[in-house]
Amino acid sequence: MVNLTAPFSDASVKNRQPIVEKLKRLLKKSIKVLEIGSGTGQHAVWFAPRLHWLTWVPSDLPQQILGIECWLNDFPSKNLAPPLALDVSEHWPRIKHDAIFSANTAHIMHPLQVKKMITKGARSLPHRGLFCLYGPFIFKNILLAESNVEFDKKLQDLDPYMGLREFAELNKLAAASSMQILEINPMPANNHLIVWQKTGNCPI
C-alpha cells in the first residue's frame, strides 16, 4: 500500500514503462546506476526490481530525501540503495557507478546546474560509462510540439532560467567532457531519451 504521506508524480507513472524498456537494453551490462534528481522516488522503486542485475542509487537535493525514503520503505528492493543527498553544483558523494540516469531535470535546473550535471557526471563515469538523460528537448530543424511550446513558456513564466534545453548545447557540453552521442530515442508525449558514452578522460 502506498504511504499517503509520500510525494506523488502522475508523470512518473505514465512514463516509467517506456523508459524501463529502453533501460533494460541500454543497461544490460551495467553494475551500478546513479539516478540524479530522483524526485519522488517513484522511478527508483519501479526500475530497481525490473533491472534486478544492477544496483540502483537514487539521489536528489537534501530536502527531497525524506519523500524518496517513503517510497523505498513501501517498495523495498534488494538492489535499491539508500538515497544520496546530491546537489549537482556541490561536492559529489564518492560512489563507483558505471552509468547515470536522470529524468525531467534539465528543464527545471539553472543552466549552470545543467552544465555541472553533465560535466561532473561525465567526470564520475568510467571509460564507456553511459549517461542517459530523459525529458523534452529542442532539436534543430525539428518543429517543437505545441504541448512542449506551452510547457516551455509555463516554465519560463515561473523562472526565466528554466525551460527546455537545446540538444545541440547539451551535446557540446557532453563532447567537451569526453562523451559522445550514442543514441537519441524518441519517447511518448514528445520526450526523448538521450544517451552519451564516456570515451576518454575528462578535462580537469
* Stretch 78-88: mean pLDDT: 97
* Domain 26-108+116-198 CATH superfamily: Vaccinia Virus protein VP39 (3.40.50.150)
Residues in contact with 85: Cβ distance below 8 Å, sequence separation at least 6, in sequence order: 59, 60, 61, 62, 65, 93
145/9: higher pLDDT: 145
Q: Sheet with 130-135: list strands edge to edge.
A: 84-85, 55-60, 32-36, 99-103, 130-135, 191-198, 179-187
Q: Give the pLDDT band of residue 41 (cuts 50, 70, 90).
A: very high
Domain boundaries, the chain: 26-108+116-198
- Sign of the torsion formed by the C-alpha atoms of 114, 119, 124 and 126: positive
Q: Give the pLDDT band of residue 4 (cuts 50, 70, 90).
A: very low
The confidence score (pLDDT) of residue 202 equals 60
How open is the CA angle 189-155-139, to the nearest 5 degrees? 50
Q: What is the pTM of this model?
A: 0.93
Whether residue 11 has pLDDT greater than 90: no
C-alpha cell at 67: 519523500
Residue-level length of the chain:
204
Whole-angstrom Cα distance, residue 153 to residue 166?
15
Q: What percent of the chain has pLDDT over 90?
A: 86
The confidence score (pLDDT) of residue 1 equals 45
Q: pLDDT per residue over 103-160, tens digit each?
A: 999 999 999 999 999 999 999 999 999 999 999 999 998 889 999 999 999 999 999 9
